[in-house]
Amino acid sequence: MKSNSNAIIIGASSGIGEALARLLSNEGYRVGMCARRRQLLMALQSDLPGSAIKEMNVSKPNEAIELFQELLEEMGGAGLVVISAGTGFINPELEWQKEKATIDVNVLGFCAMANAAVKYFMERGRGHLVAISSVAAFIGSRQAPAYSASKAFVSNYLEGLRGVMRNLQLPITITDIRAGFVDTDMAHGSGIFWVASREKAARQIHQAIRKKRACVYVTRRWRLIAWLFKIMPHSLLLR
């Protein structure tokens, strides 16, 4: 199978990553799946013919980069890499271990994986990187300060990578998935609304992949919330 038909999903053991792995496999991709929880990966692998797995903890970035490169070699390359690994806590008490865990995964881990994927695509001359950000990136959250800040990092880093690819005139697509509430283990806290199923989120992400979009909101109605965040007075946003 050509490497263009291979996809690697980082954070595939549950949530959006798992749903997307199943969808891509059904669409004819050979899927490589990375996550911390090996048992969940093995169970998913048994459902997806030809898939490959690699136990990985992105909060250990140097080790994660090596494992990612191993999986690429084992699969004979990949044309698509999706970074779905993420964590977050409701943490108004500002417990440092929760803030640090969020930064370790959503900033250090994400950046390591994005950097490794894009460097691979640059050597290859083409490719498509997709990463899951959030509408939370538009505003600092008093309930989850590190989470919203980490997602702002994700979106800005992706924008920077997109600029690098444009400057180098390389056919490498960078897609920012700005997700609203999706029915995953991370969807908790008060005021949750417009919750999409992980399957619906995966379908919209797949559509964005096919169309090689630069930025999409999942689900689409969250574009309205992002627009409101941009125009609302700062004092009102902080209430």
Condensed to tens digits (0 to 9), the pLDDT of residues 50-91 reads 999 999 999 999 999 999 999 999 999 999 999 999 999 999
Determine which one of 120, 147, 157, 217 is catalytic: 147
- The predicted model gives 159-187 an average pLDDT of 88
**What pLDDT score was predicted for residue 14?**
92
Condensed to tens digits (0 to 9), the pLDDT of residues 139-155 reads 888 899 999 999 999 99
**What pLDDT score was predicted for residue 142?**
87
- The predicted model gives 88-96 an average pLDDT of 95
Residue partners of 160: CB distance under 8 A and separation at least 6: none
This prediction's pTM: 0.89
Average pLDDT across the chain, whole number: 89
Distance in angstroms between the alpha carbons of the first and the last residue of the chain: 54
Q: Which CATH superfamily, name and number, covers 3-237?
A: NAD(P)-binding Rossmann-like Domain (3.40.50.720)
Residue partners of 17: CB distance under 8 A and separation at least 6: 9, 10, 11, 33, 35, 82, 84, 85
Q: Is 147 a catalytic residue?
A: yes
Rounded percentage of the chain residues whose pLDDT exceeds 90: 77
Amino acid of residue 36: R
Condensed to tens digits (0 to 9), the pLDDT of residues 180-195 reads 877 766 555 445 556 7
Q: List the one residue out of 147, 139, 116, 146 whose CA is nearest residue 54.
A: 116
- What is the DSSP code string of 80-113? EEEE--------TT--HHHHHHHHIIIIIIHHHH
> Is residue 231 scored above 60 in pLDDT?
no
Enumerate the domain spans of the chain: 3-237
**What pLDDT score was predicted for residue 109?**
98
